[in-house]
């Protein structure tokens, strides 16, 4: 059973003879934004599809709406699900028609976002039980409680077992994401005074990140 606000259910409702259902489905597809863009672009690309004209129209609205809301501030928006930045996505249809919409780079949803996040810090800290902490324009994310990578601008290894720090560095080294990959060599990785890392792990970290700093004891 598909959810009522799933793009496929809404697209099915576009064929409803009930005006209210049809109108609500249109509104909701535009409100869905990024998540609706891909299924709508499949309809728009199919010349024989009865919903093609509506799909083209809704893609225009999604383009307008997401451009207005997000285009000028991509570097400050973060998808709360993926912790990934918003970005432009292109839909290229046959016969040269194209659309651009803005949404999460990874999952493409555009309904939920964290605003005003200028800096994301990946933290490795066994003493810190939380997963995330927002401090004004910074977001600190505990990598130890959240396996997998996300978009971050700085690394702080405060308290971490050597194997965890090594596992983190290897995961970063293997990251193929085209947005993140070139940024690591410019990034600072701070190592806390209480963190004892092996020479091997330090070497991997030095190889992965641009600058390694050792925080002094306070
Ligand atoms: Zn996402």
Dist. CA 39 → ligand 1 center (Å):
17
Dist. CA 156 → ligand 1 center (Å):
23
pLDDT for 19 beyond 60: yes
Dist. CA 105 → ligand 1 center (Å):
7
Average pLDDT in the 85-92 region?
Answer: 96
Dist. CA 113 → ligand 1 center (Å):
9
| Strands 138-142, 132-135: pairing kind | antiparallel
Dist. CA 16 → ligand 1 center (Å):
31
Dist. CA 83 → ligand 1 center (Å):
7
Sign of CA dihedral 16, 20, 23, 25: negative
Quote the mean pLDDT of the chain: 95
Dist. CA 163 → ligand 1 center (Å):
29
Q: Quick one: tokens of 204?
A: 């991997």
Dist. CA 167 → ligand 1 center (Å):
24
pLDDT digits (tens, 9 = 90+) for 89-100: 999 998 889 999
Dist. CA 162 → ligand 1 center (Å):
30
pLDDT for 134 beyond 90: yes
Dist. CA 106 → ligand 1 center (Å):
5
**Residue located via tokens 């509104």:** 27
Average pLDDT in the 12-22 region?
Answer: 93
pLDDT for 217 beyond 90: no
Q: What is residue 3's predicted lDDT score, i.e. its pLDDT?
A: 78
pLDDT for 1 beyond 60: no
pLDDT for 131 beyond 90: yes
CA distances in angstroms from 22 to 11, 39, 146, 215, listed in the order given = 9, 17, 41, 60
CA neighbor of 152 nearest in space, from 191, 193, 113, 123: 123
pLDDT for 12 beyond 90: yes
pLDDT digits (tens, 9 = 90+) for 109-128: 999 999 999 999 999 999 99
Dist. CA 124 → ligand 1 center (Å):
22
* Span of 2-6, 17-21, 128-132, 197-201 with lowest mean pLDDT: 2-6
3-state secondary structure of 77: coil
Q: What is residue 31's predicted lDDT score, i.e. its pLDDT?
A: 96
**Residue located via tokens 């991997």:** 204
Q: What is residue 95's predicted lDDT score, i.e. its pLDDT?
A: 83
Q: Domains of the chain: which residue ranges?
A: 7-104, 119-214
pLDDT digits (tens, 9 = 90+) for 156-190: 999 999 999 999 999 999 999 999 999 999 999 99
At 2, is the pLDDT very low, low, confident or very high (cuts 50, 70, 90)? low
Average pLDDT in the 85-91 region?
Answer: 96
Q: What is residue 120's predicted lDDT score, i.e. its pLDDT?
A: 98
At 199, is the pLDDT very low, low, confident or very high (cuts 50, 70, 90)? very high
Dist. CA 109 → ligand 1 center (Å):
6
At 147, is the pLDDT very low, low, confident or very high (cuts 50, 70, 90)? confident
Dist. CA 95 → ligand 1 center (Å):
30
């Amino acid at each position: 059973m598909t959810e009522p606000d799933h793009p496929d259910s809404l697209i099915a409702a576009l064929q409803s003879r009930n005006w209210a259902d049809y109108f609500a489905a249109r509104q909701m597809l535009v409100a869905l934004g990024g998540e609706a863009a891909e299924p709508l672009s499949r309809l728009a690309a199919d010349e024989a599809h009865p919903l093609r004209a509506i799909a083209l129209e809704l893609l225009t609205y999604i383009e307008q709406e997401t451009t207005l809301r997000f285009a000028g501030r991509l570097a400050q928006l973060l998808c709360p699900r993926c912790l990934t930045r918003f970005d432009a996505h292109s839909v290229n249809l046959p016969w040269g028609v194209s659309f651009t919409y803005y949404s999460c780079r990874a999952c493409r949803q555009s309904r939920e976002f964290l605003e005003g996040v200028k800096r994301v810090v990946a933290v490795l800290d066994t003493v810190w039980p939380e997963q995330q902490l927002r401090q004004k324009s910074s977001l600190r994310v505990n990598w130890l409680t959240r396996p997998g990578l996300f978009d971050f601008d700085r690394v702080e290894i405060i308290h971490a077992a050597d194997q965890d720090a090594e596992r983190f560095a290897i995961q970063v080294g293997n990251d193929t994401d085209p947005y993140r990959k070139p940024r690591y060599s410019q990034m600072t990785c701070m190592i806390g005074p209480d963190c004892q890392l092996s020479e091997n792990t330090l070497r991997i970290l030095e190889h992965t990140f641009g600058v390694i700093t050792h925080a002094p004891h306070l």
